[in-house]
A = this chain, B = another copy of it.
Amino acid sequence: MTTTDAGGQVAARARGPYAKTAERRLAILEAATEVFAERGWRAASLRQIAEAAGISLSTLQHHFPSKVELLHATMTHRDEHRFERAPGALPSFPQTVVGQAVANEGVPRLIQLYSVLTAESATAEHPARDYFAQRFASLREEYAAEFAALGAAGALRPGVDPATAAALLIGLWDGVQLQWLHDPDAIEPAEALVAYLGLVIDDEALLPSAAQRARWRSDGIVSA
Contacts and interface: CB of A to CB of B under 8 A. Distances in A.
Contact of A178 (B39, B164, B174): B174
A interface residue count range (under 10 / 10 to 19 / 20 to 34 / 35 or more): 35 or more
Interface string A178-196: 1101110011000010011
Given A164-B192, A176-B175, A182-B133, A38 B123 contact: yes
A132 B160 CA distance: 32
B196 A122 contact: no
A199 interface: yes
Contact of A167 (B140, B157, B187): B187
B187 A179 contact: no
Question: Could you say which of A129, A182, A195 has the most chain B C-beta atoms within 10 Å of its C-beta?
Answer: A182
Nearest to A164: B195
Interface in A134-165: 136-137, 140, 157, 159-161, 164
Task: State the copy count for this chain.
Answer: 2
A157 B199 contact: yes
A8 B69 CA distance: 44
A115 interface: yes
A54 interface: no
10 contacts: A40-B120, A42-B42, A116-B123, A136-B182, A136-B183, A164-B192, A167-B192, A168-B195, A171-B174, A175-B175
Interface of A: 38-40, 42-43, 115-116, 118-126, 129, 132-133, 136-137, 140, 157, 159-161, 164, 167-168, 170-176, 178-179, 181-183, 186-187, 192, 195-196, 198-200
Given A39-B125, A122-B181, A168-B176, 9 more contacts: A43-B125, A119-B119, A121-B182, A122-B182, A133-B183, A171-B187, A172-B172, A175-B176, A199-B199
